[in-house]
Structure 1
Amino acid sequence: MRRSKQGDAGQPTWVRTSPEHRFELQLAYLSTHPGAFVERVDAGGCATVVRWRDRPTFVEVRVDGEGSVGDISVKSAKSAKASPPVEPAPLFGSRESSSPNRGVWVRGPVEVADRMFQFEADIRSFDNAVAGSPLEPLHQLYRGFKPVCMADPFQGMCWVIVGQQVNVTFAAKLKQTLVEKFGDTLQVGDAVYRVFPSPERIAGLEPEDLRAFQFSRQKAKYLISLARRIVNGWDPSVYEGMEAEEAIAHLTQLEGVGRWSAECFLLFVFRHPDVLPAADIGLRRALGKLLGLGRNATEAELREFGRMFAGWRSYVSQYLWLALREGRWEEEAVD
């Protein structure tokens, strides 16, 4: 695999965030996400490597300006052993008592960090949409939380495809395998970070190469098809800023992409603020808990619930997922 020298990680840049931005909630989200193993998270920040403009790029975001600084060099996954993961940060206590962050320190391209954490997105109008609704108790806990997105569209779209129709634990295992077996590493000072494989790397595979690592034949086919499409010049960024339904109509023409996958692409890759993947079993379970239904909500019920938050349904999705992950409700809903 290609080796290159990227130079120094650089001095941190102070980046102002919107007044209500809750970076500590984004860190809590990452620290408990089973699929977030390429990110290193602690109570003060997050460091990771993404492919940006065709090269592995180190990005670190912290509240204190302290972090990893050093020479950066790309290495083959076989030539360097990744450092053990940092212990996950605990959930950050009482959200009501947390002070909103006014800014963060960023090492690496600020544009990449902003794509991940949406520093300047103004979400204050969401307060009005939530007021007096069944979602208001969660809003009191999570106000200022913004979806954590993927800076690299190819990586984000692969993540969604890997997560299709499997449980979260198995999806995380497949993601880890994809990175460890086919990705690179990036050394930053004394630390070694995993790097998601490039489209060219995946495009050069055959389904049998992934089948050997428990990928289904269809899932392997979809990943390789996506990679080859990108290598041949397809640019997924055209969907950023497009109306949701128009983008979904285009995305569902891709091999292996249904409505749920297209909605997740828009939410986690293209930063669309108004997407609710209502077929998601986790979201249906969470709404059933929130409304006290004694069962999982149906897809139709979830879409109807989302209508009162038109313009902000991506945030509704994230509130429900985060509350479910934190165990806000004790009993399990049943189908």
Structure 2
Amino acid sequence: MWQEVIEIEGPYQFDRVIERHAIDPLNQVDLQKRLIKVPILIEEKNQYIVEVTGLGTVNKPVFKLTGNNSKQKEAQIKRISEIFQWNTSLKQVNRHFQQTDLRDLFQEHFGTPLVLDFDPFSCLVKCIIHQQLNLSFSHTLTERFVKTFGNEIDGVWFYPNPEIVANITVEQLRDMQFSSRKGEYVIGIGIAVAERDLEFEALARKSEEEIFNELIKIRGIGAWTIQNFLLFALGRPNLFPATDIGIQNALKKLYRLDRKPTLEEIEQYKHRWEPYLSYAALYLWRSIE
């Protein structure tokens, strides 16, 4: 076991982060103790648990990290920092938006960070499972999938690795209430990663256009899934999913429109928010939750 205390530049709303994670029944979160247990994958196969506890305030964030295994400790800390985006200056982001029409939103949700999913493969699988489902049933379906094919360490669940997913049958997923098509898509993602047709480390180094062109070739992956992957697996800071219904509803509310804005209108709005479009999207989503 190991421990490390890390201080970062504020603002940073850790309580908002763990409240968001608490919605997912697979996540181990204690809101009173301000902690979350994070499943960490290093080199795609080494599994660790890191408990992250918030000790500081919004303006002076401090975190205690407790690991269950000191092997690859520095890599674990690095990955935790990436997931929680501790190297991004929210002060600079917030300052940028004070000069825009999103100023009030950034004051209301002051210090809310863009946080990544725990690993790219599980992010992509979760996006496929969640497609065209309400939030409650999508969590139920994901929980069934992970608890059937994944593994658990100290109460923390890991998604099944690509090799396991590649060998699941559609019939097994149909028994869990997957549609045949959704089952095929999930298995196809597993096969693509297991056979190295899709490599996340190489993908992360590419431009958004290159990533889009690579992922769109895979069955079941459309623009919505790719945008979610870019945001919540790779943490790209300047991405705006203009076709997302939630974003459109948030803009309708913000500008007091009697209809959803057109894509042309959204294009006019969003240029003012660059180069932090991802944060604009995040805070707009927060405004209607």
User: Do both share a fold (TM > 0.5)?
Assistant: yes
CA distance in 1 between counterparts of 2:218 and 2:60 reads: 40
Q: How does 1:1-335 map to 2 (within 5 A)?
A: 10-31=1-22, 33=23, 35=24, 37-43=26-32, 44-53=34-43, 54-64=45-55, 99-108=58-67, 109-187=76-154, 192-233=155-196, 234-325=198-289
The 1-side partners of 2:272 and 2:255 are apart by 15
Cα contact 1:61–1:104 (8 A) shared by 2: yes
Deviation at 1:241, TM superposition (A): 4.4
1:144 is aligned with what amino acid?
A: G
**Residue number in structure 2 paired with 1:72:** none
Shift in Å at residue 36 of structure 1? Answer: 5.2
C-alpha distance in 2, partners of 1:227/1:317?
A: 29
Query: C-alpha distance in 2, partners of 1:251/1:37?
Result: 26
* CA distance in 1 between partners of 2:263 and 2:148 (Å): 37
* Other structure's SS at 2:41 match: strand
Q: 1:100 aligns to what SS in structure 2?
A: coil
Matches of 1:175 and 1:55, distance apart in 2:
22
| Higher RCO (C-alpha 8 Å, min separation 6) | 1
d(CA) in 2 for partners of 1:45 and 1:197? 24
Distance 1:149 1:186 in 2: 21
Gap runs ≥5 in structure 2 = 68-75
Higher fraction of helix: 2
Question: Once the two structures are aligned, what percentage of the paired residues are identical?
Answer: 24
Partner amino acid, structure 1, of 2:27: V
Aligned residue type for 2:270: G
Report the Cα offset of residue 271 of structure 1.
Answer: 1.1
Query: Would you say how many aligned residue pairs link Structure 1 and Structure 2?
Result: 278
Counterpart of 2:72 in structure 1 is none
1:231-256: per-residue Cα shift (whole Å, max 9, x none)?
11231222324332332222212221
- With the length of structure 1 as denominator, give the TM-score of the two structures: 0.77
* SS of residue paired to 1:12: strand
Q: Which moved more, 1:50-59 or 1:159-168?
A: 50-59
Q: 2: distance between equivalents of 1:254 and 1:310?
A: 30
User: 8 Å contact 1:30–1:41 — kept in the other structure?
Assistant: no
The offset of 1:112, in angstroms, is 2.4
- State the shift of 1:300 in Å: 4.4
How far does residue 147 in structure 1 lie from its aligned partner after superposition?
1.3
